[in-house]
Every structure is written in structure tokens, then in C-alpha cells.
Structure 1
Amino acid sequence: MLASLANQRASSSSASFTNSWKHDVFLSFRGLDTRSNFTGHLYSALCQQGINTFMDDDELRRGEEISSTLLTAIEDSKISVVVFSKNYASSKWCLEELVKILDCKKSEQLVIPVFYKVNPSDVRNHRGSFGDALANVECKYKDNMEKVNRWREALSQAANLSGFTLLDE
């Protein structure tokens, strides 16, 4: 996976784009699930390869709405890597990031999903922990079903992208 991102960086740096990217990679992940293990190690490995990677910290997650810093970081990235983990869909922040990432995908951004200990079909079809999380979100946001439906659609779209699956063996 790391080699694939490095190759993408090399080929995109030689191409002429209208956007000037501030970050090579934006990492979207559920902090409680993967910050201290998979995503933390991925971030370190990308940085060691000279790949400019944005990984948020807990300080950015203040308040109810997704911060403008995160939205700007997504927009300013050439590639977004979305690490789907068991509790990803239970985070409104992650779901909002995913919607923004897929919006940016429409204009040049490459999106690479990583299914970390989850089955892509569970993400796509909203089963297992993803189904449970969306049921909870639906109850919480029953007055804003348009938002919930955007999140559902974003999960399905992202799960249909070519990516990497890392299941327990």
C-alpha cells in the first residue's frame, strides 16, 4: 500500500494540475479504533517516505461541527485514505469527512479506502457495526434525515472504490 501511495505521489508531481496541493495524503479514521495502532503506523511510514501527510489530532475536534481546518486539509490534499474500522460510522465527524472527501473526489482527488478489520460489504450494505451505528445516528438525527441519507450514500460509494482489506486472520 505504501509503495502504491509513493508511486501516485511521484506520478502526480510530474503532472501539471491546476490545484497546488498542500498535502499529499489526508488520513480519515476513527481515532479510538486506529490512532494508536494501524493509522499511527501508516502515518509514520508515509512521513518516513517523504509523503506529506495530514493526520488530525484531538485538538481539532472541538465543538459540534466539523472544523474548517479539517475541511481545508481535505480540499488541500491530493489523496485521501479512508480507514474504515469497526466504529468509523459511529462518528459524526468521520461521516462528515467522508462526505467532503467524496465531494473532492469529483475534482482530481484520489480516494483509497482501507477496510481495517471490517468487511467492505458490511460498509457498503450497512450491516454489522455499520448498520448498528447508522441506526443510532438515524435516531439522533431523525429531524435531519437528508444528512443521514448523505452519510449512508457516502459509505456505500466509498465501499465500492478499489482499496485494501485488512481482516483478522
Structure 2
Amino acid sequence: MAITVHVGEASSSISSIQPPTPPRKSWKHHVFMSFRGEDTRTGFTSHLYAALKRKGITTYKDDNNLCTGDSISDELLKAIEESMLSVIVLSPNYASSSWCLDELCKILECKNKLGQHIVPVFYSVDPSDVRHQKGTFGEAFKKHESRFGEESDKVTRWREALTQVAGYSGCSSKNQ
């Protein structure tokens, strides 16, 4: 399955995606979208969602206003598990949300256990800033470390998840 998405003047291709072959028999959603609402909800993410919908691609996009510090809901965890592919829109404030980071950890768990595919979108961020938690990602982690402790297992898992997802081939909004 190859997907080309046109959002405004920007065009991104997600090519050579083969359906996973995990023990799972069916998926409720083709795509789960992970994003920081304040950065991209009314712009990029809503346009991407509409483009996928026009192509007949069943996409889960949580539109609730989520509060920082709240724990990730069971409904959201289930939606991640029931999706064949996750599109992770890594934007400047993505790492400031503990909710987004918990979601990312669940997505990576589903990749490993269920064969889910992952497509990172580096939206106005450099992949190396994500990988090494520099720039706004570094600033966010200073706050997380002061809140949870520098050696916190949670903070360590989040760092590892960002490092891992930054290593995957994805799409970039650079120069678009």
C-alpha cells in the first residue's frame, strides 16, 4: 500500500508500506494519529486527517482537550492497539506533553508486540533534536526531570522512545 498525501502545497509520500503480519486478524483503524494539539490540531493534523479520510483510510484522531499531567485513557490505549499504522507528528511542543510521550511509548510497544507500522512526521523540528532531545525537546525534558526526577523510569522510557522513533524513516516538513 502506498499513500501520497497532499496538504496545501506540501506533498508527502508514505510508500512501500506493507500490511503487517502479526497474529492479529483485523484492525479497527488503518491509522492512529499522535500529535500535540496546540501545535498542529487546527492546521497540519486536521488537513492530514481530511486527506486520509478522502482516500478512504480509517483514521483515529483524538479531539478531546487533554490536560497535561493526566494519565492516558484506556480508550486511547485501545485505539492505539487497534490501529495498523501510527503517524506520529513530532512538533516543537510534542515532548512537553506527558500524555503524548506516554502515547508514544504505547505506540512503540504495539510496534514490537503487534507488528504495527510507524511513520514519524518531523513537523517544524529537526530529527536530531528529537533523537538527542535538544532544542524544545531538551527544554521539555528539563521540566519533566524537575517534576519526576532526573533518574525517573518514566523520563528514561520517554527519552528512549524519542530516540527510537527519530531513527525511523519518516517525513519532514522542512522547506515546505
Q: TM-score, normalised by structure 1?
A: 0.89
Secondary structure in 2 matching 1:19: coil
Gaps of 5+ in 1: none
Q: Which residue in the other structure is 2:93 paired with?
A: 87
Q: C-alpha separation between the residues in 2 aligned to 1:142 and 1:87?
A: 20
Q: Is 1:160 the equivalent of 2:167?
A: yes
Kindly provide the amino acid, as one letter, of the partner of residue 54 in structure 1.
Y
How much has 1:12 moved relative to structure 2?
2.6
Query: Which of 98, 118, 133 pairs up with 1:111?
Result: 118
Query: Which of 66, 77, 91 pairs up with 2:72?
Result: 66
Secondary structure in 1 matching 2:88: strand
Higher-helix-fraction structure = 1
Secondary structure in 1 matching 2:144: helix
Q: C-alpha separation between the residues in 1 aligned to 2:42 and 2:144?
A: 25
- Matched-pair contact (CA < 8 Å) for 1:6–1:49: no
Query: Which of 90, 101, 107 pairs up with 1:101?
Result: 107
Q: Which residue in the other structure is 2:33 paired with?
A: 27
How much has 1:2 moved relative to structure 2?
3.7
Q: TM-score, normalised by structure 2?
A: 0.86
How much has 1:38 moved relative to structure 2?
0.5
Cα deviations across residues 99-125 of structure 1 (Å, max 9, x unaligned)? 000000112100000000000000000
The percentage of counterpart residues that share the same residue type is 50
CA pair 39-26 structure 1, distance change in 2 beyond 3 A: same
How much has 1:18 moved relative to structure 2?
2.9
Q: Which one is further off, 94-103 or 62-71?
A: 62-71
Cα deviations across residues 26-46 of structure 1 (Å, max 9, x unaligned)? 000000000000011000000
Aligned CA-pair RMSD:
2.3
Secondary structure in 1 matching 2:19: helix
Gaps of 5+ in 2: 5-12
Kindly provide the amino acid, as one letter, of the partner of residue 84 in structure 1.
L
Cα deviations across residues 44-94 of structure 1 (Å, max 9, x unaligned)? 0000100000000125x3682100011000000000000000000000110
Count of residues in correspondence between the two structures? 165
CA pair 138-84 structure 1, distance change in 2 beyond 3 A: same
Query: Which of 36, 52, 60 pairs up with 1:54?
Result: 60
Secondary structure in 1 matching 2:42: coil
Q: C-alpha separation between the residues in 1 aligned to 2:80 and 2:161?
A: 15
